[in-house]
Amino acid sequence: MSIRVAKTGNEAVAEGMRQINPDVVAAYPITPQTEIVQIFSSFVANGKVDTEFVTVESEHSAMSATVGASSAGARAMTATSANGLALMWEIVYIAASMRLPIVMPVVNRALSGPINIHCDHSDTMGARDAGWVQIFSENAQEAYDNLLQAVRIAEDKNVLLPVMVTMDGFIISHAMEVMHLLEDEKVRKWVGEYVPENPLLDVDNPVTVGPLDLYDWNMEHKRQQAEAMIQAKPVILEVAKDYAKLSGREYGLFEEYMLDDAEIAIVVLGSTAGTAKEVVKALRADGVKAGLLKVRVFRPFPAREIAAALGGKKAIAVMDRSDSFNAVSGPVFAEVRSAMYGVENAPKIVDYIYGIGGRDVTMDHIKSVYDDLAKIVKTGQVERALTYLGIRE
Amino acid sequence: MATLKELSNKEILVTPGHRACAGCGFPIIIKQALLAADNPVVVGCATGCMEVCTTIYPYTAWKVPFIHNAFENSAATVSGVEAAYQSLKRRGKIDKKIDFIAFGGDGGTYDIGFQSLSGAMERGHDMLYICYDNQAYMNTGIQRSSATPRGANTTTSPAGSESYGKKQYRKDLTEVMVAHGIPYVAQGSPAMWNDLVSKVNKGLAVEGPAFMAVIQPCVLGWKYPADQTIELAKLAVDTCFWPLYEIVDGEYKLTYRPKEKKPLVDFLRKQDRFRHLFKPENEHIIAELQAEVDRKWDALLAKCGEQA
């Protein structure tokens, strides 16, 4: 039986980390992730874990030490937000190219500047090409569930890639909700023992990690990295299946909410999906065939599956909680529209950039998006390909 | 202290065939440092000549486990390796005693890696950090670092009609590390192999962090014939430009005192990076450099309780 509790997202993730009991955690505090570090510190201080906890002097060193620990053969974790992730940047890429199964919760926060501590996805979207598996969460329950699954995904021998598990800053990280934790023993058994390949600490079989890799082999190694990301997709689904057996909660690459017979739909990531589902319910009550697709796994991007799920719809709105500043669209739109290219009777697709710097997103805002879609279906015309939702202009 | 005969019977843990320049100082330093270890060693290294020359995939010159992560994080990376070791030992997954050495050049140590080094030392990881200090960014083509001596001609502090080279004195990182209150800090030179080997041995033996700065003549950057590396490493010591000393739990000790303190020009004259200083208009710089060496040497003697 699982344990019903009231937890914030940060508490839920810290509990998950306690249950995983990693060999090493190296982390640095940053709002809104700070609580994870604090709570985990108290677990260390009170013997709830026997993790070696490295209180580094920056996020750059957090990721550097995590890379060192993971290369050494440890199950290693860190956590961060926004500017912290940006400071790690260089090593975020190195962690992926070294094929280290590091798991990192990222509490989404607007990347400076202007400085802002509230939620948007500019931090993790900026890292979308870093070679990490990226899993987004709608609420504390999902953040917890995704964290546990991330360990198994990262350490799968066909993957061996680092995994970022995200949750929306404050909206999820600091809001209390009722959720279910699994029992400690169950989690430890399910996550299992980490068996590293070629660890540095195997001094009888010395390996050189992180060598200079020039034009002779670099491209082959990057190709292998790309292959690992391709292989990650079936592994994510297998792990989700196995996790469903453990928890009763099922996950896919994305969630379809009243999407099957929908004519208009929005594509959304993170906590806004919860708000949007309420809008869909209300619209359905009014006879509007509205639906929703919530992307859970952004990397690897499930292009083919999304195309199949959205094919045949009449109009789609992609909700982007960050901007690409490419004078075209946000990043999620670019991926989704690209996925839809060549799909027969492809729907009209428009982009909404919303919720930047923590700007509140209400049901009315989302209703207005569905209204726009309905209008597109009615007129067959797209007036605006990109809308900044709720902006004062 | 092992004898030369004993050391010659130990396995050399870095192989020949690496791509360092003829006459390069760092392979000598690695060789001496690894000979000093009594336990298996795991090595980390910052981006720079050492990493570039010893690890071009699919080759490696390292017969010990080795990790290179990036330029500025050798200390943080090895602190993570050491943390993994502590954890896995506590959990009964490792029972061997293993030593940890982080290498970095002066750029990766004095400058861009300074924060990472300071953090790792403050946290108390059981590791030895060795800076091979060749006094400029040699791997990228001789740019000035905060370890470059005043007056040196580098590609970013070039001597010219309005310039005598680098204007600032070098950062005294060894003293900065002493201020961290760590159990062991030392300066070494590959010319004094017995001194260097015994210092590495002590640095690895202490519980907690240790730091060593080792001077490393660079043929290309200092501009001298490739067969004079050890001679220059010795002149640096004998002119008191690079004193050999150690600080054990805060106690200063001079480990080598030249019988006769040689004038600094003996060291400067052999390197073309200082050639412009010998022009009449720059000669006052040489006098200033000598005065600074004298001042620092006297201060060091006082700290070590030695007669001036």
pLDDT in tens, A141-195: 999 999 999 999 999 999 999 999 999 999 999 999 999 999 999 999 999 999 9
Option in A24, A90, A212 nearest B87 (CB): A24
Option in A23, A91, A213 nearest B84 (CB): A23
Q: How close is the nearest chain B Cα to the Cα of A161, in Å?
A: 16
**Span B128-155, pLDDT tens digits:** 999 999 999 999 999 999 999 999 999 9
Same domain assignment for residues A300 and A231? no
Q: Specify the CATH number for the domain of residue A274.
A: 3.40.50.920
**Per-residue pLDDT at A13 exceeds 70:** yes
**Span B30-55, pLDDT tens digits:** 999 999 999 999 999 999 999 999 99
What is the C-alpha separation between A48 and B236, in angstroms, rounded? Answer: 54
State the pLDDT confidence band at A36, using cuts at 50, 70 and 90. very high
State the pLDDT confidence band at A250, using cuts at 50, 70 and 90. very high
Measured between beta carbons, the chain B residues lying within 8 angstroms of A57 are 115-116, 118-119, 122
What is the C-alpha separation between B137 and B147, in angstroms, rounded? Answer: 9
Same domain assignment for residues A218 and A299? no
Q: Specify the CATH number for the domain of residue A22.
A: 3.40.50.970
Option in B56, B63, B84 nearest A72 (CB): B84
Q: State the pTM of this model.
A: 0.98
What is the C-alpha separation between A56 and A71, in angstroms, rounded? Answer: 18
Q: HSE, CB side, 13 Å, CA atoms: give it for residue A177.
A: 21
Is there a contact between B68 and A210 if contact means CB atoms under 8 Å apart? yes
Is there a contact between B68 and A74 if contact means CB atoms under 8 Å apart? no
Give the count of domains, chain A.
Answer: 2
Is there a contact between A91 and B84 if contact means CB atoms under 8 Å apart? no
Residues 6+ apart with CB under 8 A from A165: A13, A103, A104, A105, A106, A135, A137, A143, A146, A147, A150
Same domain assignment for residues A341 and A207? no
Closest CA to B274 of B289, B255, B254, B258: B289
The pLDDT of residue A105 is: 98
* In contact, B152 and B88? CB cutoff 8 Å: no
Q: Average pLDDT for residues B64-91, to the nearest whole number? A: 98
B44 inside 8 A of chain A by CB: yes
Q: What distances in angstroms separate CA A194 from CA A99, A150, A155, B196, B200, one per listed residue?
A: 15, 13, 8, 40, 34
Same domain assignment for residues A216 and A291? no
Q: Which of A228, A247, A266 is the last residue of a domain?
A: A247
Q: How close is the nearest chain B Cα to the Cα of A89, in Å?
A: 12
**Per-residue pLDDT at A345 exceeds 90:** no
Q: How close is the nearest chain A Cα to the Cα of B249, in Å?
A: 24
Q: Average pLDDT for residues A12-31, to the nearest whole number? A: 98
B15 inside 8 A of chain A by CB: no
Tokens encoding B242: 């690079």
Same domain assignment for residues A233 and A364? no
Same domain assignment for residues A125 and A71? yes
The pLDDT of residue A1 is: 61
Q: What residues are paired with A388 via a beta bridge? A: A353
**Per-residue pLDDT at B75 exceeds 80:** yes
User: By CA distance, what is B113's nearest residue in A?
Assistant: A61
* Percent of residues, chain A, with pLDDT higher than 70: 100
B65 inside 8 A of chain A by CB: yes
What is the C-alpha separation between B264 and A190, in angstroms, rounded? Answer: 67
B60 inside 8 A of chain A by CB: yes
Sheet holding A103-108, edge to edge: A52-54, A24-26, A76-77, A103-108, A163-168, A133-136, A297-299
B119 burial (CB, 10 Å; 0-12 / 13-18 / 19+) is buried
Domain membership of residue A27 as a residue range: 3-247
Tokens encoding A126: 């900026």
Q: What distances in angstroms separate CA B157 from CA A345, B107, B137, B219, B282, one per listed residue?
A: 64, 15, 12, 18, 15
Measured between beta carbons, the chain A residues lying within 8 angstroms of B91 are 23, 50
Measured between beta carbons, the chain A residues lying within 8 angstroms of B82 are 68
Whether A393 is covered by a domain: the verdict is no
* Percent of residues, chain A, with pLDDT higher than 90: 99
What is the C-alpha separation between A157 and B244, in angstroms, rounded? Answer: 50
Same domain assignment for residues A178 and A129? yes
Option in A68, A207, A210 nearest B80 (CB): A68
Q: Which of A215, A247, A279 is the last residue of a domain?
A: A247
State the pLDDT confidence band at B209, using cuts at 50, 70 and 90. very high
> Among residues 255-294 of chain B, which lie with CB inside 8 Å of chain A?
none
Same domain assignment for residues A202 and A184? yes
> Among residues 170-229 of chain B, which lie with CB inside 8 Å of chain A?
none
The pLDDT of residue B308 is: 86
Is there a contact between B83 and A206 if contact means CB atoms under 8 Å apart? no
What is the C-alpha separation between A22 and A103, in angstroms, rounded? Answer: 10
Measured between beta carbons, the chain B residues lying within 8 angstroms of A23 are 84, 87-88, 91
Q: Average pLDDT for residues B202-224, to the nearest whole number? A: 98
Measured between beta carbons, the chain B residues lying within 8 angstroms of A26 are 79-80, 83
Same domain assignment for residues A176 and A57? yes
State the pLDDT confidence band at B3, using cuts at 50, 70 and 90. confident
Is there a contact between B84 and A214 if contact means CB atoms under 8 Å apart? no
Whether A236 is covered by a domain: the verdict is yes
User: By CA distance, what is B13's nearest residue in A?
Assistant: A206
Q: Which of A193, A223, A247 is the last residue of a domain?
A: A247
Q: Average pLDDT for residues A123-129, to the nearest whole number? A: 98
> Any idea what DSSP says for residue B157?
B
Closest CA to B77 of A28, A206, A77, A66: A66
> Among residues 79-98 of chain B, which lie with CB inside 8 Å of chain A?
79-88, 90-91, 94, 96, 98
Same domain assignment for residues A302 and A203? no
State the pLDDT confidence band at A65, using cuts at 50, 70 and 90. very high
What is residue A196's three-state secondary structure? coil
Same domain assignment for residues A109 and A16? yes
Closest CA to B192 of B5, B29, B13: B29
State the pLDDT confidence band at B1, using cuts at 50, 70 and 90. low
B118 inside 8 A of chain A by CB: yes
Same domain assignment for residues A240 and A259? no
Residues 6+ apart with CB under 8 A from B295: none
The average confidence (pLDDT) of chain A is 97
> Among residues 24-63 of chain A, which lie with CB inside 8 Å of chain B?
24, 26, 50-52, 54-58, 60-61
Q: Average pLDDT for residues A281-285, to the nearest whole number? A: 98
Is there a contact between A57 and B118 if contact means CB atoms under 8 Å apart? yes
User: E-assigned strands of chain B?
Assistant: 41-45, 66-68, 99-105, 128-133, 159-160, 163-164, 184-188, 210-215, 244-248, 251-256
A68 inside 8 A of chain B by CB: yes
**Per-residue pLDDT at A2 exceeds 90:** no
What is the C-alpha separation between B104 and B113, in angstroms, rounded? Answer: 8
Q: Average pLDDT for residues A246-265, to the nearest whole number? A: 98
> Among residues 73-92 of chain A, which lie with CB inside 8 Å of chain B?
73-74, 76, 90-91
What is the C-alpha separation between A346 and B209, in angstroms, rounded? Answer: 62
State the pLDDT confidence band at B295, using cuts at 50, 70 and 90. very high
